[in-house]
Amino acid sequence: MTMSKPVYLAVYDTWADWETGHATAYLARAGYEIRTVGPSTEPVRSIGGLRVQPDLALDDVRPEDSSLLILPGADLWDTTDELAPFARKAREFLDAGVPVAAICGATAGLAREGLLDDRAHTSAVSFYLAATGYGGGERYVDADAVTDDTRGKLITAGPTEPVAFAREIFRLLGVYEGEVLDAWYRLFHDSDAEAYAVLEKAGAE
């Protein structure tokens, strides 16, 4: 079954291609269409050298047509303001009540946009975000991934937690829940072979 609204994966030069693979692969298996969105529809290259031609440009993405916006990390988040329009788009999504999930450097982009000042969040380390000069240091949580639902739903994670990042996305969208979600996380994070039996029984392997 294909879900009615796609998940948008932001892609831009130097995007960290390993950070979103678990999430997009299993969202697709659950019936979500994954559409890539770039600064334009011109091809971009990931930090690993993968060439991707975006399905559509950022200006053409509307929250009301979306299930989720995923923002991966990228070197450009910390070296230029070139990706600031993606942080502004995240604000648009959150204001419309549509979820956003940001990992690694994208969390710094959201911090600069002021989106973490009054939301619980995490990142690589607290002082990484502190360097942005943002006002949300007291809301920083030392955890693998954090979901905040105070004003819209926002997921944040650090660069070493792509599996926890995916876990929070699956929980938020109801892809997996309870024992099955826990088993999925244990399988891919801890290599727990016993968890596979739970997923196999649920048809989620």
Helix (H) / strand (E) element for 128: namely helix 126-130
Nearest-angstrom CA–CA distance, 21 and 16: 10
Class of residue 82 by CB neighbours under 10 A (exposed 0-12, middle 13-18, buried 19+): middle
Q: Which of 7, 58, 83, 104 is catalytic?
A: 104
Residue 148 has phi, psi (to 5 degrees) of -115, 135
- The burial class, CB within 10 Å (0-12 / 13-18 / 19+), for 86 is buried
d(CA 175, CA 151): 22
138 is catalytic: no
With CA atoms as reference, report the closest residue to 73 among 110, 39, 120: 110
Catalytic residues: 104
